Amino acid sequence: MKNMLARLRRFIELASGPDIGYQADKKRQFKLDALYFLRRVAVLMQLQKDEYQIRWNEGGIAVSGDATLHSNDIYIQFSQSRGGFMWRTCKGQKDYCGGFNRWANWESLLEIETFVERVLEVRAQGRRAAEIGLPVPIGNVA
């Protein structure tokens, strides 16, 4: 647990810090950590293997690249940004536009279980709304 917290703090520093473009070693570390923590999110969400994909887009030399967890109804994307990371609802693993973008600051990952609870809450609201024919709830909340 202590090692995971240290790794998470290092990842947050890398993700929210100075540009890592043109620095292959930092880009590689960002990739490894981003994929690791998205897998952790998938486990906490109790997703089954056929319910999600985790992808890596290398991008060009000047950018960090981005890691994506794409489930049947949630899309979370990590790319280097001082503003945090994006997540949203979606309608299937082929939906690349999804619901409205929501943003969470990197520090919210320090309490990853709380972040996942919020994601699951929004997902449940969307499911309840769909069941009775209402539009999926929207908003820009973390």
Q: What would the mean pLDDT of 19-27 be, rounded to a whole number?
A: 94
130 or 140: which carries more pLDDT confidence?
130
Alpha-carbon distance 91 to 97, whole Å?
A: 9
Q: In what order do the strands lie in the sheet with 85-89?
A: 52-57, 66-71, 74-79, 85-89, 102-104
Residue 77: predicted pLDDT:
97
Run of H or E including 30: helix 24-44
**Residue 85 — φ and ψ, nearest 5°?**
-125, 160
Confidence of residue 108 (pLDDT cuts 50, 70, 90): very high
Domains of the chain, residue spans:
2-131
Residue 136: predicted pLDDT:
55
Whether residue 141 has pLDDT greater than 70? no
Alpha-carbon distance 54 to 126, whole Å?
A: 22
Residue 127: predicted pLDDT:
74
